[in-house]
Amino acid sequence: MINLRYHIVSLVAVFLALAIGVIAGTTVINDQVVKALERSDKTLRNALKSQQDENGALKSTLSVLNTWGAAIARTVEKDELRGRTVVLVVSNGVDGKTISSVEDALSLAGATRGGVITFSARWNLRDDPTRQQLGQLLGLGQSARASDIASQGAERFAARLQSPGDPNAPGDLLQGLAQAGFIQISDQTGGTFPPSGTSIVWLSSGIPNPSPPDTLFSLPVLRALAGHVPVAVAEPMGSADSLSDQIHGDAMLTRAVATVDHVDTIPGVASLIAGLHDVSSGLPAPHFGTRRSATAVAPTP
């Protein structure tokens, strides 16, 4: 008969064998996993290095193209607007770098900068107090609808841009809008504003639900100005809300208002100067950019 000691020894031997098997198996598996991870790591490192090399080459190429493009742009821009005064009208949210690039290009083109009108986010008229305040400024009363306020505001704003006056005079529309925080006026040259014979560059942010709204305000203002004041509209590349596309879809505006849909690029800034030059000279409005409705990427030297 098999005694208890034999059973104990047998059980210990079985568990010991299982433990050895588990340890041995785990060691083999871990070694395979480690080798697979090492191979994956090597592959990823090689791919990363290849991508970094490619990015470096592209950056070098881009630097060369930007340098070359800037030189070409300067020849296109230089003195194109000499003797003309230009006022910037800037929607809320336009990048400061873009504004600076446009201002520098206007100076290179010989234009006199007549000032900047910048819209605030209040033009979206999202709340009742804002609507009521603008309605009162326009003489429409507190119960006026947002659509009526925007359309009346567009009509009066366009009329004021065509009538040089003192923005600091009591009752002046621009003064009222500025004091209520709907616009900001900066870089004025003094005297009447805007100066007589002014051309306008309208910078759109291209963001969704822009301020002021395109349909209710910007487009009506541009229609009122078309044929009376030379206007060029510009927006950044890839705009989610393209004012340029809406202008191209309007038979009157597309003939009178120049557009640039990539003003945040070197070719775009040069295109803006060329477009404003053409409409200020009484030529048909050109449409530069990369969107489908544009007629050329940029002017040729």
- Write out the residue range of the structural domain in which residue 139 sits: 79-288
Domain termination residue (choose one: 15, 50, 77): 77
**Which pair of tokens denotes residue 196?**
């007589």
Of 151, 158, 156, residue with least CA distance to 216: 151
> What is the length of the chain?
301
pLDDT in tens, 25-67: 655 556 676 677 777 777 877 877 878 777 766 666 555 455 5
pLDDT in tens, 222-281: 999 999 999 999 999 989 999 999 999 999 999 999 999 999 988 889 899 999 999 999
| Count helices and strands in the chain by DSSP H and E runs | 9, 7
Q: Does the pTM of the predicted model rise above 0.85?
A: no
Domains in the chain: how many in total?
A: 2
**Using a CB cutoff of 8 Å and minimum separation of 24, what contacts does 287-290 make?**
287/244, 287/248, 287/254, 287/258, 287/259, 287/260, 288/258, 288/259, 288/260, 288/261, 288/262, 289/237, 289/244, 289/259, 289/260, 289/261, 289/262, 290/237, 290/261, 290/262
**CATH code of residue 158:** 3.40.50
Residue keyed to tokens 């560059």: 201
Check whether residue 6 and residue 107 sit in a common domain.
Answer: no
Assigned domain for 298 exists:
no
Assigned domain for 293 exists:
no
Check whether residue 46 and residue 98 sit in a common domain.
Answer: no
**Which pair of tokens denotes residue 218?**
């910007």
